[in-house]
Structure 1
Amino acid sequence: MWPFSPSYPERTLRDIAGQTFDYVIVGGGTAGCAIASRLSEDPSVRVLVLERGKVRDHWLSRIPLISGSLLGGASLFQLVQRLSEQSERQGGSGSDSDDNPDGNGLVTAKHRRADLRTAEALGGASRINQMLWTRGAPGIYNAWAEELRHPDWSWEKVEPFFRKIEDAAEEEKSPSRRRAYLGRGGPVHLRKHEPQFEMYHHVDKAAAALGLPIDNDVNDPDAPASGYFYLDSTIDKNGSRHSAYSAYLPKKIALERRGRLTICTGVVASSWKSTHPSNVSGGTRCDSTFIKAEREVIVCSGAICSPQLLMLSGIGSAKQLEPLGIPVHRNLPGVGSHLSDHHGLPIMMKVPVAQTLHRLQSNILFAIWQVILWIWNKTGILKSGTTATTIYLNTSHIDPQTSIIRPGHASDPVFSNPALPENVPDVEIMVIPAGTVLDRFQGLPLCSFYACLVQPRTTGRVELASGTDPELSPPDSLPNPRRPARSRRGAQSPPFAHKSGYRHTAELFYGPGAQAGHSSIGNWRDLDDAELDAFATDTVQSVLHLGCTCRMAPEQDGGVVDDRLRVHGFRNLRVADASVFPRIPAAHTMAATYMVAERCAQFVADEWKEA
């Protein structure tokens, strides 16, 4: 019993020096925790997790709203902030005739660098994200299978792994319906909270007026791909944030498996090295210490640091590695390329302070009371994250003159079928009762229609800043949207305010109309393409859904891993995190990252069971 209970069994590099393990997992984030937990279920193996951050389990880190603040998270975790580099290129990869017929697009906003943040702690980004559980429309994975030629990653193949992960709380409204498609008994707890502010009822009306289907659950595979949805969050039955650390490697499991599971924190892997001419076995180097893996090394360091580790190990583009003095172990030009992210356009309105999360800042007694409510019975504003509802849109289904779903599209089984790749949404509009431009507009009561482009057409890349120092963050050229028609449509979301009945109490504060000097929230139609383009270029933000830098694809197509997540040319080196996505999902990426991790653990277990 506390305070006499054993502490979390974190180990140091000195503790593991000279040891050999069956599996070495580099990175204890969202994916790394899941893989370590699954592999260590086998009592006959020895599993090592190497994580740069510490456990950092504090009671504040369990409060959903507080822990999800990128500003507040800095006091709870080692918050890592990177700034993307400005690209010298003037064109983007790929083509999009609807947006840019000449194929020469805007890659990065002039004189701006994107702010990229994550947490270094056991559980990684799942310790500070907004806890949103969105599997994504089945068409996303069917596109992976059909268009990108990964048949083992179709919706039919990945759906059982989503179920394996989930433990969805029963809902009073429709328990039997959710039971039909969400998992029960998995490690990750899911909970749906009704929106806590009256403003959401107006958004419901606005979405219906625009022809959007109103659906209760974004994770229903039979729900329309476009619509207005209520969201699931990774919150446990006790009302606490349920991160990868809590779900897969809590203290109870770490203590029970001490003989076969070692969690080494505060350590940085500097490279991987094969110890066999045919690349059968290998290990990883941390400082001057080499740790050997008898079976496999699995890299789970995220979309920025996974390619960094491969490049430091001599796996990457020879043209980049040789000038840095890194011996090329395998020339894989795809390492670090195809960096994708969702792009956000913050559009904000001033509303009554009681309708926003800013009330916590404006009234200290109210904030203290909310902390007491959460501690006492897990109620109040702090019990959930910032985002309870969202809108997914396929902009090809929208009338460009009215921003209303084209007549018949919402009910037509062809246009509403979520399994068809052509119906996958390309825009998401999150409804957030707070401002969404960090460090600005302090004290103003704002709500946001945060418009996100979730099928980007341009890509960036990750390159090494140093050939020897793994502590030095690699620069990344973050892709920004071109001059897209879909950017304009995403920026034209103020009609939601106009149709919501909020027009007498809300004022467009930050958006394309405000940017152009218009005061009326209904004047978005007066803006020309140049004004909308200027707003998109000047205000675009990273949504922090980075992926695809070690993507699953054939080597000749710029791929890094095969369909079983093995690095091309190596038998026992895998990558398993968001970096392997063949195309970034049109959804929040946490659920898909867990799915990749679960599949990787299964691939590894099956392979060594057969060996």
Structure 2
Amino acid sequence: MIFLGLIQFLLAFDAATSQMAIVDRLLNVYAKMGFTYREERFLDNLPILDSYDFVIVGAGPGGAVTANRLSENPKWTVLLLEAGIEGNLYTDIPALNIIFGFTNYNWKYVTESQPELMCRGMTNKRCSWPSGKGVGGTTIWNGLMWTRCPASDFDEWEAMGNPGWGYQSMLKNFLKVENVSIPELRDSPYHSTTGPVGVQYPFRTQISDVFMNAGREFGYDWVDYNNPKTPTGFSRTQISARNGRRVDAATAYLLPIKNRQNLHVLKNAFVNRVIIDENTKTATGVEFVKNENTRVVSAKKEVILSAGTFNTPKLLMLSGIGPAEHLKSNGIKVIQDSPAVGQNLQEHISPLTVVTINSSISYNIRKLAPIIMPAFREWVSNGGGILSSNVAEVIGYVKTDPSLSKPDIEMIFSPVSIAADDGILLRRYFGISEETYETTFAPINQRESFTICPLGMYPKSKGEIRLNSSNPVDPPVIITNFLKEPEDVKNMVDAQKLVQKILETESMKKIGARLYDKPVLGCEEFEFGTDEYFECSVRTITMQFHHQCCTARMGPNPEDSVVSPRLRVHGVKNLRVVDASVMPKIPGAHTMSVTYAIAENAADIIKEDWNNEL
């Protein structure tokens, strides 16, 4: 009955979508079952020094890795500042990831409205854009998908003027991060069993086997997609988990060293700006707010921004580094005119492709309700069962054109569809408007259905991050420009055609798989299945995947990049960036693993630079 109450709670979700009530309710359920769980692993009242050697802003994978590696030197003191709180037992459950998008673990940013391009069917014609806030960053509650991308993506970074960022360098860092428990991969030279981030397969549903078999019929092998020799093909998803439990950046890199005396981790600390000496253009510390008190902490060696793709450029601009005219228009004194700050925003997008079937092997909330109690007990006892699913169990890397040198579409398979919960939770998480949902998807509420999202791996369209004002509390302005470039539109149309083709395989025919063909609201004038309809569909429901990157891109030229290949901010001393914003171009991968590897590489660079100055 306890978990039936939880399900009823989720079905009555209206009262709890903006606060931590969801987490509180889950913790109460856990306590009533007789289990204990300690959340406060990092002290909230930690005494802070006036100065440290390194001050790092943001405890996502960039900041957590960097803090760990720099504090390996006992002579260096490190302060890691994080605006959010810690994860808890329930963020450790892979299958509950979406729930935490409604809590204060999410910055809850939304894009500017651009209905001529995208998000026409989303709430207020704006896409919601989740971004993690907490000790661990987005790794606390993302989809856990562990993908790297083809080797040539990194070689392209290096060819753009960034020595040390090619595939061989990055492979070394991937191996440093990873601890794979998948038996057939443990002896691979492209995997490691010694790193802090566990990698395994998720729970396996029957319907995921159908998709795997369909991929083989479609002409694709079953592969290890993280092996550079086999970037094309189908596979069960590799996820960042150990024994069925999420491994986030805090679990992997901070908890094992939380008693290290030269490392302080301060949560609930909101950074306003970097303090920069205007005469020498040298970063000297940061200003932050904790418990409504504003204070400054000094950095004797460096300030390192790891605040993420949205907040790193925001902080740079608030600190006087960015496009001069934009800073002036917001009343901010220009310390360094850096036109590339906030530019080059990139993200992977996809249409929402729902498939109906006549077999009872998909999942919805009413099927899960009777089994959730034993499933929870199973997960608590051994990390097994359906709660260890990341709800994206298979990936297929395919080509829209056989002549391409590498895949350009990632098919993400999920055993549930947008209609699995009658529009209560999923449609809100993805930001689909109530009108769009009720008109388009409500007719298949609780029907057997699943999802294939064909993600475009290499978008051409680029957006930007701007300031709302000079007030640090205001969210950034996010202009995506999704689908602005014709190549992206064609790629998304071709991707939907590939989904149609895979549904023609015998494996799919056996379960009566059909593309759900009720026209998306606003696209009724177009014949279903035509190029015009598919374009309208993706412009109306524009899915994105938390893979935002590239807004403080690295490169040798200060005119079109923000940081050097050694991640130093152009024109400002003792200031670096270590997060996904430094990527010069979006990789064909979920960006979590890449960000871990970037941070490992960055830590080596920083150590080398400072050791050379001794």
AA matched with 2:407: P
AA matched with 1:590: M
Match of 1:370 in 2: 375
In structure 1, what is the Cα distance between the partners aligned to 2:36 and 2:530? Answer: 64
Do the aligned partners of 1:302 and 1:577 also contact (CA within 8 Å) in 2? yes
The 5 A counterparts of 1:287-298 are: 287=289, 288-298=294-304
SS in 1 for 2:353: strand
Do the aligned partners of 1:390 and 1:428 also contact (CA within 8 Å) in 2? yes
AA matched with 1:502: M
Match of 1:465 in 2: 468
Match of 1:347 in 2: 353
Match of 2:199 in 1: 190
- Equivalent residue in structure 2 for 1:137, among 144, 150, 154: 150
- Equivalent residue in structure 2 for 1:607, among 592, 603, 609: 609
SS in 2 for 1:503: helix
Do the aligned partners of 2:375 and 2:385 also contact (CA within 8 Å) in 1? yes
Per-residue CA deviations over 1:476-499 (Å, capped at 9, x if unaligned) read 011312442211111221222221
The 5 A counterparts of 1:242-253 are: 242-250=247-255, 252-253=256-257
- Equivalent residue in structure 2 for 1:10, among 33, 43, 47: 43
Describe the shift of the 1:322–1:445 C-alpha distance in structure 2 as closer, same or farther (beyond 3 A).
same
Structure 2: unaligned runs, 5 residues or longer: 1-34, 419-425, 429-436
Do the aligned partners of 1:512 and 1:531 also contact (CA within 8 Å) in 2? no
Match of 1:151 in 2: 163
The 5 A counterparts of 1:91-170 are: 106=117, 112-146=125-159, 148-170=160-182
In structure 1, what is the Cα distance between the partners aligned to 2:520 and 2:216? Answer: 25
SS in 2 for 1:355: coil
**1:221 correspondence with 2:221:** no
SS in 1 for 2:198: strand
The 5 A counterparts of 1:461-610 are: 461-467=464-470, 469-481=471-483, 482-483=485-486, 484-492=489-497, 493-503=499-509, 505-508=511-514, 510=516, 527-610=529-612
Do the aligned partners of 1:491 and 1:512 also contact (CA within 8 Å) in 2? no
In structure 2, what is the Cα distance between the partners aligned to 1:213 and 1:513? Answer: 33
Describe the shift of the 1:213–1:513 C-alpha distance in structure 2 as closer, same or farther (beyond 3 A).
farther
Describe the shift of the 1:221–1:348 C-alpha distance in structure 2 as closer, same or farther (beyond 3 A).
same
Do the aligned partners of 1:339 and 1:546 also contact (CA within 8 Å) in 2? yes
In structure 2, what is the Cα distance between the partners aligned to 1:163 and 1:45? Answer: 26
Describe the shift of the 1:49–1:188 C-alpha distance in structure 2 as closer, same or farther (beyond 3 A).
same
In structure 2, what is the Cα distance between the partners aligned to 1:174 and 1:316? Answer: 44
SS in 2 for 1:192: coil
Match of 1:61 in 2: 91
Do the aligned partners of 1:547 and 1:578 also contact (CA within 8 Å) in 2? yes
In structure 2, what is the Cα distance between the partners aligned to 1:185 and 1:203? Answer: 32
**1:79 correspondence with 2:106:** yes
- TM-score between both structures, scaled by the size of structure 2: 0.83
Per-residue CA deviations over 1:121-158 (Å, capped at 9, x if unaligned) read 10010011111111111011111122x23232111121
SS in 2 for 1:502: helix
AA matched with 1:598: E
Describe the shift of the 1:37–1:174 C-alpha distance in structure 2 as closer, same or farther (beyond 3 A).
closer
AA matched with 2:339: P
In structure 2, what is the Cα distance between the partners aligned to 1:456 and 1:502? Answer: 29
Match of 2:217 in 1: 209
Structure 1: unaligned runs, 5 residues or longer: 91-105, 398-408, 410-414, 416-422
In structure 2, what is the Cα distance between the partners aligned to 1:290 and 1:332? Answer: 25
- TM-score between both structures, scaled by the size of structure 1: 0.84
AA matched with 2:81: L
**1:254 correspondence with 2:258:** yes
Per-residue CA deviations over 1:159-193 (Å, capped at 9, x if unaligned) read 1011111111151x4643x3x22022111111124
Do the aligned partners of 1:454 and 1:586 also contact (CA within 8 Å) in 2? yes
In structure 2, what is the Cα distance between the partners aligned to 1:568 and 1:268? Answer: 25
AA matched with 1:490: A
Do the aligned partners of 1:347 and 1:511 also contact (CA within 8 Å) in 2? no
Aligned-residue Cα RMSD (Å) equals 2.7
AA matched with 1:114: C
Do the aligned partners of 2:338 and 2:558 also contact (CA within 8 Å) in 1? no
In structure 1, what is the Cα distance between the partners aligned to 2:253 and 2:360? Answer: 37
Among all aligned residue pairs of Structure 1 and Structure 2, give the percentage whose two residues are the same amino acid: 25
Do the aligned partners of 1:344 and 1:451 also contact (CA within 8 Å) in 2? yes
SS in 1 for 2:56: strand
In structure 2, what is the Cα distance between the partners aligned to 1:3 and 1:540? Answer: 41
Match of 2:276 in 1: 274
Per-residue CA deviations over 1:352-380 (Å, capped at 9, x if unaligned) read 6852342x543422111111111122221
